[in-house]
C-alpha cells in the first residue's frame, strides 16, 4: 500500500519569519499567505504554516 501525504502542517510563533525561512529553504514562494496562514505547493503535496502566537520563538541561523 502506498501512502501519500497531502499537506504537512507546522505551527509557528512568527508567521513572517517562518515564511521567509521556508521560502529560502525550499526555493519557492507561497501559493497563499495572510496574517496567520501560509501554504507552499510542493509537487503533489503542500507545506502549511499556521500562526500560534503563544509558541516560544526560536532563532534560525539559516538553512
Which residue is it, cell 513572517?
Answer: 16
Domains of the chain listed by start with CATH number? 7-51 (3.30.720.120)
pLDDT tens for the chain, residues 1 to 63: 888 889 999 999 899 999 999 999 999 999 999 999 999 999 889 999 999 988 876 666 665
Specify the pLDDT at position 2: 86
Question: What pairs with residue 33 in β-bridges?
Answer: 38
Prediction pTM value: 0.80
Instruction: Name the residue among 21, 20, 42 with its Cα closest to residue 31.
Output: 42
Gap between the Cα atoms of 11 and 38, Å rounded: 11
Amino acid at each position: 500500500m502506498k501512502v501519500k501525504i497531502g499537506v504537512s502542517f507546522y505551527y509557528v510563533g512568527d508567521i513572517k519569519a517562518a515564511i521567509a525561512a521556508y521560502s529560502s529553504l525550499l526555493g519557492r514562494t507561497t501559493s497563499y499567505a495572510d496574517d496567520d496562514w501560509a501554504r507552499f505547493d510542493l509537487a503533489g503535496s503542500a507545506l502549511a504554516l499556521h500562526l500560534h502566537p503563544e509558541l516560544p520563538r526560536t532563532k534560525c541561523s539559516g538553512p
